[in-house]
Each structure stands twice: as C-alpha cells, then as structure tokens.
C-alpha cells in the first residue's frame, strides 16, 4: 500500500493512450524498456516534463535487440527523434514503438516508411534516396553500376507521372502491393 512509484500522472497516461495505439499497461512496459537503456538518466517517475526533455543517445538506442540488425536503424531513430539526431526522448520512443506496433493502421506505417526512405527530406524518393536505401539493404555489396541499374528500374516501374522520383502516392501504390510490408514493419513490445 504506500510505496507504489507513480511513473506518469493519470493525465499523462490518458494523453499517451489517446495519441498512441497502446494500452496503459503497454505504455508502462515501453517506459520500462526505455529506462533500461539508461537507468542513471531516465527516472522511474516522469510526472514532470522529463518525458519530452530527457534523451537517450543514439548509440544506446541502437543496442535494442529489435533494431540491432536493422540496416535502417540510424535512419529510423533519426526520423522519430524530435530533433532529428537519433537521440530519443521517451515520447519519441513511444511514438516509434506505437507506429511499429501491430495495432497501428497501415496508412500510418506507409507514411513513416516513406519518411524513412526519403533520406534528403524533400518529400520525394529520388534516385539518391533509392541508392542510399539499396546500399543499406545490400550492405554495400553491389557495385556502382548494379546500384544505378536497380534504382533506375525501381523508378521506371513505379514513377507514374514520369518526373524521375516517387511521390508519396506512388510510393504508397508500390508498398501496398508488397505482401510482406505489414509483417515486416512492426515490432512486438
């Protein structure tokens, strides 16, 4: 009875439930995982502004088993970190895991997949973005000509309006035809 640590205020929990695809119990589990990354930095009680001010550095985020082997891990953390560095606040981490949860709708997943592939942030996936993605996916095992050919082929097959790059709509059209997209774009907490 008296020694129970309050991790978040009731209002915070309600807000997190409203803006994620998680239950109260899952939110607390996400906090536990976040705190385990840096227990000396992340407090047990986060009823103030700690959830959006205290950051866990990218190098610690990359130690999470779910991301350790993912070639896009730096890019994923960069996209979801509020400052773009890959250093994550609890709220950044909560959003990341919410989007990658099984409960997140397909259109949200496609939106974030697009952001991950849009390396230069110009709201299109162009040849340079495709080249970076292919380099990560193949561990830089293709030579320049093979990479260029693959990127050209992707643009040829996916670029409906002929502008040499993929808009969000064109990307969505392609990704939704990929049968394993939903099964690979998720993490179980």
Among 4-13, 33-42, 110-119, name the one with the lowest average pLDDT.
4-13
Domain segments of the chain as ranges: 10-99, 106-184
Helices (H), the chain: 10-19, 24-37, 50-53, 58-61, 65-68, 73-80, 90-99, 106-117, 127-137, 144-158, 168-175, 181-184
Would you state the pLDDT for residue 1? 47
In the chain, % of residues over pLDDT 90: 87
CATH architecture for segment(s) 106-184? Orthogonal Bundle (1.10)
Is the pLDDT reported for residue 140 higher than 90?
A: no
Structure tokens at 120: 């230069």
Task: Confirm if 167 and 124 have CB atoms less than 8 A apart.
Answer: yes
Among 58-62, 133-137, 182-186, name the one with the lowest average pLDDT.
182-186
Q: What CATH code would you report for 10-99?
A: 1.10.238.10
Residue of 64, 65, 66, 98 lying closest to 80 (CA atoms): 98
Is the pLDDT reported for residue 3 higher than 60?
A: no
Average pLDDT, the chain: 94
Spatial separation of the C-alpha atoms in residues 149 and 30, rounded to whole Å: 42
Would you state the pLDDT for residue 4? 65
């Amino acid at each position: 009875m008296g020694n129970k640590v309050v991790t978040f205020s009731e209002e915070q929990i309600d807000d997190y439930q409203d803006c994620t695809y998680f239950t109260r119990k899952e939110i607390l589990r996400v906090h536990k995982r976040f705190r385990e990354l840096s227990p000396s930095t992340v407090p047990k009680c986060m009823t103030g502004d700690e959830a959006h001010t205290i950051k866990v550095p990218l190098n610690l985020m990359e130690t999470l088993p779910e991301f350790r082997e993912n070639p896009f891990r730096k890019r994923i953390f960069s996209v979801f970190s509020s400052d773009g560095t890959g250093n994550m606040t609890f709220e950044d981490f909560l959003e990341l895991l919410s989007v990658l949860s099984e409960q997140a709708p397909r259109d949200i997943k496609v939106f974030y997949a697009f952001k991950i592939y849009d390396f230069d942030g110009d709201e299109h996936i162009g040849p340079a973005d495709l080249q970076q993605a292919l380099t990560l996916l193949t561990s830089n095992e293709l030579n320049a000509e093979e990479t260029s050919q693959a990127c050209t082929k992707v643009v040829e097959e996916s670029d409906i309006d002929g502008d040499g790059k993929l808009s969000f709509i064109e990307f969505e059209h392609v990704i939704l035809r990929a049968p394993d997209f939903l099964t690979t774009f998720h993490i179980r907490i």
